[in-house]
């Protein structure tokens, strides 16, 4: 596979998983925004769509806690049948 084809496929995955507010890691398995993924996704978008890169990170920061921490994940309210953790902090700061 050549580099152009790889870039084309990577962009297709990012574009397919764009919700209008952020990019989900996987449409059915991971419909929520994960902070770790959001950072790497923004790096990918920054090469061809700065607006989406910025919008995805802003969505994450809109969920910032009052104490200044960012959540590990931001739940998508449209996916209520997905198992949610019973605790709020998934990883130590």
- Domain range spanning residue 53? 3-74
The answer to whether residue 80 is domain-embedded is no
Residue whose C-alpha is closest to residue 21's, from 58, 46, 47: 58
Residue whose C-alpha is closest to residue 21's, from 63, 52, 48: 52
CA angle 49/55/83 to nearest 5° reads: 115
> What tokens were used for 76?
């998508």
The answer to whether residue 9 is domain-embedded is yes
How far apart are the C-alpha atoms of 76 and 73, rounded to whole Å? Answer: 9
> What tokens were used for 74?
């931001």
Q: Which residue has the tokens 């920061």?
A: 61
Structural domain count of the chain: 1
Kindly report, residue by residue over 4-14, the tens digit of the pLDDT. 999 999 999 99
- Taking the CA of residue 72 as centre, how many other CA atoms within 13 Å lie in the half-sphere pointing to its CB? 9
Whether residue 27 is predicted with pLDDT greater than 90 in this model: the reply is no
The answer to whether residue 56 is domain-embedded is yes
The answer to whether residue 12 is domain-embedded is yes
The answer to whether residue 14 is domain-embedded is yes
Kindly report, residue by residue over 54-72, the tens digit of the pLDDT. 999 999 999 999 999 999 9
User: Which tops the pLDDT comparison, 59 or 86?
Assistant: 59
User: Which tops the pLDDT comparison, 10 or 28?
Assistant: 10
How far apart are the C-alpha atoms of 78 and 51, rounded to whole Å? Answer: 24
The answer to whether residue 93 is domain-embedded is no
The answer to whether residue 92 is domain-embedded is no
The answer to whether residue 70 is domain-embedded is yes
């Amino acid at each position: 596979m050549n580099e152009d084809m790889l870039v084309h496929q990577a962009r297709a995955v990012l574009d397919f998983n764009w919700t209008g507010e952020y990019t989900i890691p996987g449409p059915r398995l991971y419909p929520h925004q994960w902070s770790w993924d959001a950072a790497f996704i923004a790096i990918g978008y920054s090469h061809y769509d700065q607006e989406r890169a910025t919008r995805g990170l802003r969505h994450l920061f809109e969920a910032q806690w009052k104490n200044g921490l960012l959540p590990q994940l931001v739940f998508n309210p449209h996916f209520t049948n997905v198992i949610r953790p019973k605790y709020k902090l998934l990883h130590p700061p």
